Amino acid sequence: MTITDVQAQVEEIAQTMVILEPSDRAAMVKVGEQLLELTGHLRESGFVEAAALTENAATVASAHPEQGDVPAAVIATVNQALEVLQEMLDQETPADLPVDLQLGAPVGAMPPAAETMAGDQAAGSDEAAAVPLLRPEGLTLSPLVDDQIIAEFLSRQSDSIGDMEKLVLSCEQQQDAAPIEALRRWFHTLKGESGLLGLSDLATICHATEDMMQAEPTSQCVDRLLAVTDWLQTCFAYLMDRGPLPADAASILALLASPPAPAVPAAPPAQTPDAAAERAPEDVVDEVVEDVVDDVAEAAAADATGRTDDNDGVEVDIEAGAGELPDYSSKYVLDGDVGLLQDFIGESREHLDASEAHLLTLESDPGETEALNAVFRAFHTIKGLAGFAELDHIQQLAHRAENLLDNVRRGELDLCGQVMDLVFESVDVMKRLVEGVMTALAGSGYPQLEPQLPGLLARLHAVTSGQPLPATPLLRPAAAPQVAVSPAPAQLRQPAPAASEPEPETPAPPSATTLAGKTGFVPLSNFKRRSDGDAASPAHPAAPAPVATQPAATAPVFEPESEEAGAPAAGAPSRGGGKASGVKVKEAMRVDAERLDRLINTIGELVIAESMVSQSPEVRSQMTVKLARDLDHLDKISRELQEIGMSLRMMPVRPVFQKMARLARDLAKKTNRQIEFVMTGEDTELDKNVVDKIGDPLVHMVRNAIDHGLEASAAERRAAGKPEIGRVELRAFHKGGNICIEIQDDGRGLPRDKILAKAIERGLVREGDVLTDRDIHNLIFEPGFSTAAKVTDISGRGVGMDVVRRNIEELRGTCEIHSEPGRGSTFSIKLPLTLAIIEGMVIRCGTEHYIVPTLSVVRLVRPVASDISLVFDRGEMLAFEEEYLPLFRLGRLFNVSTAKADPTDAVVVVVEDEGSKIGLLADDLLGQQSIVIKSLGEAMQNTEGVAGGAIMSNGNVALILDVAGLIRAAQNASTVLRHTEELPMTTAEA
């Protein structure tokens, strides 16, 4: 059969098609048959590509539904196929068409024109030449296809893809054959059409999807189907110039071929039996994927020579598109056990926070082996958990960090300098990865992949295997040549040794380069190489990678480094695999805060009701031994209940403090200051809301303390006669019914004059205004107020303190500044205890009961007459431990007419605040108890001397004394003294 004959036949089919009515299914079937026949002829004549085309067109033609009209899409597809075919035949260049209709068939060599166009198209995508199959040629429209056809195809597909998603979802809900059939047809049609248009990637994916649907019950592969539809959507958007380049087809292929863990195919079955068990049966996996798996097996087997630790084989990252694939998050959410992942997040956070604390310990005391072991264990646990939760990228990072720490443990490395930084960075990156998992879990999509990860992994490995980091002089250069880091599979990509890789400054755009780099699809490049001969010259890997709109050329390229590079002996020995079957998972539950509050309030009511019953005279009069015992029991239970209730909302401030310690360390490094960061009171408990909100202000305050507070250099400090190492102290404690958080530095102190000058310049104060130190200090809370000469990336914009004030005001707290020039500043945040529990002493004054926070109480004394002396005949003084304290009668301060007048018959509560002590004269001490502080509400919260209220066992409210306020009131307000004058000095006793 000659070309002419074929042409005639094509012409004939084309004519049939032109007059074909959608209702005429028989005609369509005939066309299909004709096309098949034509395929045979073409194949005989050696027009392989054309044959493939017609074969596919035939498939499309016969794929329409059994009933109803022939879909317009089918007709259009066949028409397109015929047009292309005619053009091909006209040109008599049958072998040059880039039609890749068969899965497993390698991408055909591109005709020159197509190559150029592919190049142009790829320009925006910056595809890495290193992974030839990933070049968007698979997404490059055939130059032979008319623009209009493409436009029509795209608009049609992007419309129908939404319907497809619905179908997929309906497959999940019901085992109905109809949607499955419809899906299959859709994919089949799409395969044919995209094949015609030269979109080989699309065709490949569709084919693989079809295979998958055939091999597995559809309900089981819904996730993957959704992944495919998402990917297709991205593709269409990309082709319409409306979106970024989609993830490379290979990642989807891998996803399709490996049900539960898409990236695991990279892990050779022999080395990760668990993963292999979860993988789809081999017979399902189509040709290419088999190749993929084989290649990976080879590569990894080669990689893992001499290694026993199973994780090391998993060099191909889980993040195969994790960052860029929109569907990946759904994979996490749907595939992984959500509970497991949540546990993982919770536990990992705890471990990371703990390790940060330990690392800080280690930094100051490198000999602290227990801390080192703790960090090591933390990473080990995370590794295990991550393995369990199928979070391979986290697992991998944990593993690398663990290896590094193991070397440290064995004394082969010193945990200092860069090694320390590296470990810190690992903790940081790990934290972000865990956050990422959480974001994915929350359903808001998988976040941008941590761009530092590949570089970090590489550096971790480099250090572990004894290679020096770039900045350090080559200490042991001969031990491990850096070239060894790039094993065979990596030769196709930039042969940049991991160690010399620059750390990316900005997150790389989601281009295919990054993707390819991160995913490290070694097997695919291998496959490409093998099947396609010298498609891409390994010598010029970056050459065809066009750089255009995206600066992705500098994107990090993950070196799929193999473990034998470097010193394998230095690696960690097997630790019984990474599975965390033995890890105890902590149970946690999210509860609506409002319900919690209601519970706590109700418990409070119960306790009060209980005591009202047991104290009631009626019950008392009937008291028997048994009743007394039962009441005791009831009392015990209700108290326990109350304690539990109270503890529910409370959490220690420790996590926030630890963050600050970390921040301080980083800032010190960044600003080249030597600081000593001391924390006290990390166990102070605060309401969870407060803990959550206090972080931001603290960040700014710590920054300020370090960047502004401390002197810029050790020399300056020396000159000021201070120790070279600056000291910043972070404290939390209860004080008078408040929780105080203080940040103290021993730096320069606030520059009073500078602040004043700036305030005058900004018109905040007028020249000549008389301002107290306090007024001046408070000026720094003004928005935009900064005396910094220049804005650094740490501070200087004058935003920080504004944030501090706002957040603290939101928590209804106050912030005060004490500063001494040259001596340093103290910022104290005082937070009200909306729900905090304090220990309080209940005192009586006349008929009224008050509570003094036990923490403010220094001592209780029953004074003798000689202890008390008068000043000016009205101010009373108490001799107390060789000092004279001002003595204030609570009854007079608070106008309690029934209070005892004779001090020797009363009790003096010596209270202290900020170093100043006073004596408070009360009638009696009634006892001590834990109390929940309740706000007195908007109207009363400013009442001086009263910090809040507490509900006592009789249901009444007792007021909690604000000791600081009382001292202030007592000391400053002469009104109080004058007031007492007016009262008769001797009142009748109550």
Residues that bind another protein (CB under 8 A): 600-602, 604-605, 608, 848, 893-896, 934-940, 942-946, 948-949, 951, 955-959, 969, 973, 975
**Token reading at 622:** 């009937």
CB-wise, 281 or 937, nearer to another protein? 937
Minimum gap (Å) between residue 602 Cβ and another protein: 8
Neighbours of 312 (CB within 10 A): 24
- Yes or no: say if 501 and 455 are a contact pair by the CB < 8 Å rule: yes
> Least distance to another protein from the beta carbon of 781, Å?
21
Residues 6+ apart with CB under 8 A from 954: 608, 611, 612, 615
- Determine contact, residues 192/56, Cβ cutoff 8 Å: yes
Given the complex with another protein, which of 590 and 595 has the nearer CB atom? 595
The whole-angstrom separation of Cα 552 and Cα 393 is 22
Sheet holding 924-932, edge to edge: 924-932, 837-845, 848-853, 957-961, 946-951
The distance of closest approach from Cβ of residue 872 to another protein in the complex, given in angstroms and rounded to an integer, is 22
Separation between Cα atoms, residue 140 and residue 518, nearest integer Å: 23
Shortest distance, position 769 Cβ to another protein, whole Å: 23
Mind spelling out the 3-state secondary structure of 374-428?
Answer: HHHHHHHHHHHHHHHCCCHHHHHHHHHHHHHHHHHHCCCCCCCHHHHHHHHHHHH
Query: To the nearest whole angstrom, how small is the minimum distance from the Cβ of residue 979 to another protein?
Result: 10
Q: How far is the CB of 858 from another protein (least distance, A)?
A: 23
Rg (alpha carbons) of the chain, rounded to whole number: 38
937 CB neighbour count, 10 Å cutoff: 9
Nearer to another protein, 598 or 670 (CB): 598
Q: Which is nearer to another protein, 50 or 843 (CB)?
A: 843
Minimum separation from the CB atom of position 970 to another protein (A): 11
Count other Cβ atoms within 10 Å, centred on residue 525: 30
- Taking the complex as a whole, how short is the minimal distance between the CB of residue 944 and another protein, in angstroms? 6
In sequence order, what are the residues at sequence separation of 6 or more whose Cβ sits closer than 8 angstroms to the Cβ of residue 766? Answer: 760
Q: How far is the CB of 776 from another protein (least distance, A)?
A: 23
As measured in angstroms, the least distance from the Cβ of 849 to another protein is 8
Judged by beta carbon, residue 126 or residue 848, the one nearer another protein is: 848
Q: Are 710 and 704 in contact (CB under 8 A)?
A: no
**Sequential DSSP letters for 664-708:** HHHHHHHHT--EEEEEE-TT-EEEHHHHHHHHHHHHHHHHHIIII
Angle between helices 369-388 and 338-364 (to 10 degrees): 160
Residue 460 CB, nearest approach to another protein (Å): 52
Q: Is 68 left (phi over 0), alpha (psi -120 to 50) or beta?
A: left
For residues 676 and 728, is the Cβ–Cβ distance under 8 A? Answer: yes
**Beta-carbon-side half-sphere exposure of residue 172 (alpha carbons within 13 Å):** 12
- Closest of 929, 955, 935 to residue 947, by C-alpha: 935
Burial of 622 (C-beta count, 10 Å sphere; 0-12/13-18/19+): exposed
**For residues 263 and 896, which CB has a smaller minimum distance to another protein in the complex?**
896
Residue 2 or 972 having the CB closest to another protein: 972
Of the pair 580, 947, the CB lying nearest another protein is at 947
Q: Which of 959, 952, 933, 841 is closest to 607 using CA atoms?
A: 952
Q: Which is nearer to another protein, 376 or 850 (CB)?
A: 850
Compare residues 439 and 929 and give the one whose CB is closer to another protein. 929
Interatomic CA distance for residues 13 and 7, integer angstroms: 10
Please write down the long-range contacts of 784-791, taking CB distance under 8 Å and 24 or more positions apart. 785/758, 785/759, 786/758, 787/751, 787/754, 787/755, 787/758, 788/708
Structure tokens at 120: 């142009």
Q: For tokens 């005949």, what's the residue?
A: 873
Is the CB of 506 or the CB of 975 nearer to another protein?
A: 975
Q: Strand pairing partners for 679?
A: 730
Phi, psi of 497, deg, nearest 5: -65, 145
Identity of the amino acid at 332: Y
The residue among 698 and 958 lying less far from another protein, judged by its C-beta, is: 958
CB of 642 to another protein, least distance (A): 11
Judged by beta carbon, residue 822 or residue 955, the one nearer another protein is: 955
Identify which of residues 59 and 856 has a Cβ nearer to another protein in the complex.
Answer: 856
Q: How many angstroms separate the first and last alpha carbons of the chain?
A: 125
CB 141 within 8 A of CB 565: no
Query: Cα 305–309–310 angle (5° rounding)?
Result: 90
For the bound state, the minimum distance from the C-beta of residue 938 to another protein, rounded and expressed in Å, comes to 5
Dihedral angle sign, alpha carbons of residues 17, 23, 25, 27: negative
In whole angstroms, the minimum distance from the beta carbon of 962 to another protein comes to: 11
Token pair belonging to 606: 């119960």
Q: How far is the CB of 985 from another protein (least distance, A)?
A: 20
CB-wise, 531 or 953, nearer to another protein?
953
> Nearer to another protein by C-beta: 509 or 949?
949
Between 78 and 946, CB nearer to another protein: 946
Q: Which is nearer to another protein, 490 or 608 (CB)?
A: 608
Shortest approach of another protein to residue 844 CB, angstroms? Answer: 13
Strand-pairing partners, residue 921, are 889, 908
Q: How far is the CB of 891 from another protein (least distance, A)?
A: 10
CB of 242 vs another protein, minimal distance in Å? 43
